[in-house]
Chains A and B, each alone.
Chain A
Amino acid sequence: MELLCIRQWISGLLPTWLSAWCIKPVGGALVRQEPEYILLALMGSPLKKIMLCSSEKEIFSVEEQVMVQHSVIINNMIEDGSYNHEESKIPLDCVDSKTLKKVIDYCTHHTHHHNDNQEDLEAWDAQFLNVDSNGLYDLLMAANYLEIRNLLDLIYGTIKNMIKGKKIDEIRRIFNIKDHGFTPEEEEQNRKEYPHFY
């Protein structure tokens, strides 16, 4: 698209508060900063969006760049051309809306904040994973399906921490293990060998 058309299109998209913000003082006078460049800078160059469809048939629109950076599966689909921007949406039948929204949240935050310092990112991640074990399970399955490496590693780490130092009965409760599958003799033997752990 010709630069002038892009400028007009973007200016049309701008809410008034953003236009107003584009005025800044330079050397004593108020100068209008080109808003379209600010918007481009804010969002990263390609504004292309893609559509993801949850198992509940809800459509989520997300920046292509964000998903391509994080999900190997989506990256492959875009690269091999099987995704057509005009018409297609990517159906994700094993991911429900609630989980898909969270996954998109994660990817978007990490793309836009990748320059933040380590502590802030870790704090955000900890908050992000503050969900119950069912929610965690859903996130794990979605991250596994979409092949989002850093989210997977994050969840694996969290699950490991849920196991470390815990007693066996506690672990069974956290992971909702109702039937341990041992014979009564085996269970008794275990309790004899490691009484501290129960």
Chain B
Amino acid sequence: MSMESLPDALLQYILSHISNARDVAACNCVSKRWKDATTYVRTLYFPRNSFDNPSSGEIPDNIVQRMVSNVVKLEELVVYSPFSPSGLASWLSLVGQSLTQLELRMDNLADNQASRESPSKLDCIGAAKNLVSLKLWGVLMINSPKWDVFQNLSTLEIIGARLEDPVLTVVLLACPYLKRLLLLGCEGVRSISIELPYLEECKLDFYGLGNCSLSLISPKIESLEVQGCSWIRVPETGHLKKLSISNSSGRVYMIDFGNLNVLEFLSMRGVQWCWDAICKMLKLASEVKHLFMKVEFTGDFEALQPFPEIDFVEFFNSHPKLRKFDIHGAMFAALCQRNSLKHVDPGFVIPCLEEAVITVRSPLNAEQKISTLESLLKYGKNLRTMVIKILQMKSCHTSADDFFDEICRLRYMNHEKVRIE
């Protein structure tokens, strides 16, 4: 008995899991029996180079259409190779009903103005009415697509897009049941208001001047990541567990959140945050277990200011559940203040801290910094690892060498816990 006597059911099961279009096409030609079995394929994936060497004179759109038509109930279609709106329309007229996942490389970012072609590729997508997940790469979204509401769409991912605010609004109105929204590498957004009642995960990455405004009203939100906004308002945060705010080009000046009682992870990153915003964020995140702080400067206006001092004892007392602490450069320097460590209450303890990662950039204020590191070790009863990262220290000053020596001494005295990178 050999492979050719494999029962139909098993053959169908095996072949239905082959998704690369080239392999499916090959299986279609292996034998009649195999061609019948490939009608049960569930996913068709056309890589970027699928039609780089066209053999017959057939145009790629038609080849895709032929393969799509050979499948009984296609669930997922992924096309990275180039295609036209009419091609897309013809495929979706065949499988629009059964398709639950669609991923397309739209490739029209380079167009300077929207093509007058009607319907556009974006419009055509509306034919896949039962989509559960839609992922688009490189889209030009300056004309609102003519979509009805996607009743089943729970995931929308747009990666690399040029958007205009009203168009984004129209798009989101067509997806009221979204649970996951990812807008990555998107340019052109100025101000966006998102009201999605079922949204649980949201990741926004806006290119540009870093001065976008975001208003998000999604009471079920559990994970939020925002890059490139300066004004952020998220009033309903009862379920928010993971929050990451970063701005590498602009200034974060206003954050307005509801209470963050269940927040476990907070990451604050950026070139400049207003001091008010930092304090507010740290105050709200009192239950946080993992805190990542990497903000270079503060200051309410254009001028970049160094940080005022943060009281060490008060900081750790207001974040009692902190287990993992990542702190960089300027913010660490702010924590190293003379006065807070002078009269420490004997009962003071940092109860839950297990892991600390500290990045040190300059040897200024070396004594305070060492003293803070020592305090972390002394009061952190459960501290298991401390990693000290030393970056680009300007070693033209002898103090840099002294500082480095001190750190090495600290490491030597606590060698099971401290590590230098």
Contact = CB atoms under 8 A, between A and B. Distances in A.
A in complex with B:
yes
Interface of A: 133-134, 136-138, 140-141, 144, 156, 159-160, 163-168, 171-172, 174-182, 190, 192-198
B104 to A, nearest CB: 23
A28 B4 CA distance: 66
A32 to B, nearest CB: 36
A144 B18 CA distance: 20
Interface stretch (B51-59, B81-89, B405-413): B51-59
B30 to A, nearest CB: 5
Interface in B84-115: none
Interface of B: 1-6, 10, 13-14, 17-18, 20, 22-23, 25-34, 53, 55-56, 58
B10 A144 contact: yes
Binding site of A, secondary structure by majority: helix, strand, loop or mixed?
helix
Contacts of B23: 163-165
Contact of A180 (B2, B30, B53): B30
Contacts of B34: 177
B2 A163 contact: no
Going nearest first, the 8 A-B pairs with the smallest beta carbon separation are: A181-B32, A180-B31, A175-B3, A190-B29, A176-B2, A176-B4, A197-B26, A134-B2
B3 A136 contact: yes
B296 to A, nearest CB: 40
Given A175-B4, A196-B55, A163 B27 contact: yes
A171 B30 contact: yes
18 contacts: A136-B3, A137-B3, A138-B1, A160-B14, A160-B18, A163-B18, A163-B27, A171-B26, A171-B27, A177-B3, A177-B30, A178-B4, A182-B32, A192-B56, A193-B55, A193-B56, A193-B58, A194-B55
B29 A197 contact: yes
Given A163-B23, A164-B23, A196-B53, A180 B32 contact: yes
Contacts, number: 84
A136 B6 CA distance: 11
Highest count of chain A CB atoms <10 Å: which of B2, B26, B27, B34: B26
Contacts of A172: 30-31
Nearest to A166: B26
A163 B34 CA distance: 12
Given A163-B23, A171-B30, A182-B32, A156 B2 contact: no
Contacts of A195: 55-56
A35 B255 CA distance: 67
Contacts of A180: 30-32
B10 A177 contact: no
A134 B153 CA distance: 45
B2 A133 contact: yes
Contacts of B20: 164
Nearest to A136: B3
Contacts of A168: 26, 29-30
Contacts of B25: 194, 197
A142 to B, nearest CB: 11
Contacts of A141: 1
Contacts of B17: 156, 160
